Amino acid sequence: MRFFNTVQKNMSFVDVIASIEYFIRLDPDCRYRLAVGTDSQLKGRITCFATGIYIHREGRGAWGCICKRILNRQYTNLREKITKETSLTYEMVNMLNQELLTSLYDIAVRYENFDCRLEAHIDVGTRGETRKLIKEMVGYFEGMPVDAKIKPEAFVASSYANRYSRDTRVS
């Protein structure tokens, strides 16, 4: 799995974790939102899935990256496509939660104002056909320390990842 953004290319998951930790350590006495979301686009016989990771220091900047997966399969069924997007988001949220738990705990006990909410941004909303899938997709994250967000609050899936899912080239 390789990640990129507009400045950094070919990052490993370890590099992503280090970048998130560095970003937080620059100003640890703040509130953060760490959000993950996936979007996909069908291009001929393939489907491009882009998963975005986005850390936002509330009121003071953000850092993000993308991981693309190109699958040689057409996801034409809406339920199947949204389920795949949600499962990729779930996988990434779980990995981040496991890798960042200790370092975020260490920061939390040292800084009074530090807060970091983990969010899953799901590409479903109350308008259109995806409204029928909200309960099922949000259900993926029940029992996890994660806030599941849907459109219009799910900007990492519906905007950030969407921007990168349109291009099938892996950066």
pLDDT value for 168: 77
pLDDT value for 26: 96
- pTM for the structure as a whole: 0.95
Check pLDDT > 70 for residue 170: no
Beta bridge mates, 52? 37, 66
* Residue 6: partners with Cβ closer than 8 Å, 6 or more residues away: none
Neighbours of 52 (CB within 10 A): 28
At residue 171 the predicted structure's pLDDT band, cuts being 50, 70 and 90, is low
pLDDT value for 167: 85
SS3 call for 157: helix
